[in-house]
Amino acid sequence: MIQVADRLKQVEEYYFSRKLREVAFLKSQGKPIINLGVGSPDLAPPFKASMLLRDSLEDEGANKYQSYQGLPELRDEVANFYKSHYNVSLSGQTEVLPLLGSKEGIMHISMAFLNKGDEVLVPNPGYPTYGAVAKLVEAQPVLYDLTEDNNWLPDFIALERLDLSKVKIMWVNYPHMPTGTNAPNKFYDEVIAFGKRHNILIVNDNPYSFILNDKPISIMRYNNAKDVCLELNSLSKTFNMAGWRVGMLIGNYEYISAVLKVKSNMDSGMFYGIQKGAIEALQCSAMWFVSLNSVYEVRRALIWQLADALNCTYDRDATGLFVWAKLPPHLKSEEFTDLVLKEHSIFIAPGTVFGSNGEGYVRFSLCEPEEVIEEAIARVK
Ligand SMILES: Cc1ncc(COP(=O)(O)O)c(C=O)c1O
């Protein structure tokens, strides 16, 4: 047997990759599984975006390798989108880097900025990829606590007490997944000042700002952000294009160039038709967001009923594509979700997937139609 690299010993297979295999097996045994575990939007992308993708197949050069930086029109459209939706001015040609989904950006940024032994501040609970990727590049994740008592925001006093001399990157993600917390203005000013004080690159991962959220915010809107911040964004949830794999990185030219150095050695551009479709999606009018959120609002009200039926509590002011719910006292997340899967054939995510501070919580996705959620409620009742 050929030995795998040592770095693989540091990480486990992604929870959802493992669990969805189990769910698929149960389905193949005839179990009528309802999947409320994952956040893969079931609704259609903007119609015109799909049509452009289809029609662009006949464009000359559609089959060729594409630019490592994406089409200039795509970069300009991202800049227009940031101006009209976040009131942030960007140069499309130097401050935008299209990505094959924002997830790959987490790896590229880590490879561009982390040396072996560097430390990375990672939210607990948070998106598991930040910590896993830090380990893959032989850096050290340092978990920072987010707790309900502090409204799932970082405690900067506690952070200042840490030895930050080896910390190079801090991952932040507001609106926050999995809790749906929105950060106040004060947070953005504080985190930028923190980054500047300690020479830490602050990366805001921002894929949920248009889901059930009236006030989309970009960290780039705040003073001095371009000095120490990067922002990841994505069309996956905003335009139901998760499988198309379109994301973007926003930041100053020097940081973007460093990431491009990595990326241009790893892929050979995004398929032309997908870029054309993405350009169209980014031009959607306000109506797109109104109709998308009207569907999610109805679903969320039903998920609240399901959570009630399971004796869970939740914050009605939370945003995003999930409902984050607290279990009755003393119940363990994974035991609870395994039981719900076994007894009701409903898959929900245990909070512990997102870190130890997720113990005692579960996450429901809004990516199933009303009638399916109604069926879930009926099963539990
Ligand atoms: C917090 C967060 N960041 C990033 C991603 C990756 O999104 P994508 O690669 O589809 O843009 C996800 C996906 O679920 C997420 O929840």
pLDDT tens string 203-243: 999 999 999 999 999 999 999 999 999 999 999 999 999 99
Ligand 1 pocket member 113 (CB < 6 A) = no
pTM of the model: 0.96
Judged against a pLDDT cut of 90, whether residue 250 lies above it is answered with yes
Q: What average pLDDT does the structure give for the chain?
A: 96
State the Cα–Cα distance between residues 61 and 275, nearest whole angstrom. Answer: 13
From CA 226, how far away is CA 207, in angstroms rounded? 19
Report the candidate in 304, 323, 302, 310 with the shortest Cα–Cα distance to residue 381.
Answer: 310
The pLDDT value given to residue 14: 79
Q: What are the respective helix, strand and coil percentages of the chain, to the nearest 5? A: 45, 15, 40
Nearest to 368 by CA among 339, 343, 341, 347: 347
236: Cβ below 6 Å to ligand 1? yes
Q: What's the gap in Å between 14 CA and the centre of ligand 1?
A: 13
With cut-offs at 50, 70 and 90, classify the pLDDT of residue 28.
Answer: very high
Show Cβ contacts of residue 110 under 8 Å, excluding neighbours closer than 6 positions: 120, 133, 134, 136, 137, 139, 169
What is the mean predicted confidence (pLDDT) over 44-59? Answer: 96
State the helix-helix crossing angle for 370-380 and 286-309, rounded to 10 degrees.
10
CA 238 to CA 289: how far, in whole Å? 8
CA pair distance 11, 34, nearest whole angstrom:
29
**Would you say 102 and 149 are in contact if contact means Cβ atoms under 8 Å apart?**
no
Residues 175-189 pLDDT 10s: 999 999 999 999 999
- Ligand 1 centroid to Cα of residue 303, in Å, is 21
For the Cβ of 103 lying below 6 angstroms from any atom of ligand 1, the answer is yes
37 lines ligand 1 (CB under 6 A): no
Pocket flag, ligand 1, residue 179 (CB < 6 Å): no
Dist. CA 11 → ligand 1 center (Å): 19
Per-residue model confidence as pLDDT tens digits over 156-176: 999 999 999 999 999 999 999
Given pLDDT bands bounded at 50, 70 and 90, which one contains residue 146? very high
Nearest ligand 1 atom to the CA of 235 is 11
Query: Mean pLDDT over residues 92-117, rounded?
Result: 97
Residue 117's Cβ-side half-sphere holds a number of Cα atoms within 13 Å equal to: 2
Q: What is the pLDDT of residue 362?
A: 98
Question: For atom 15 of ligand 1, which residue has the closest CA?
Answer: 127
Nearest to 366 by CA among 217, 211, 244, 236: 211
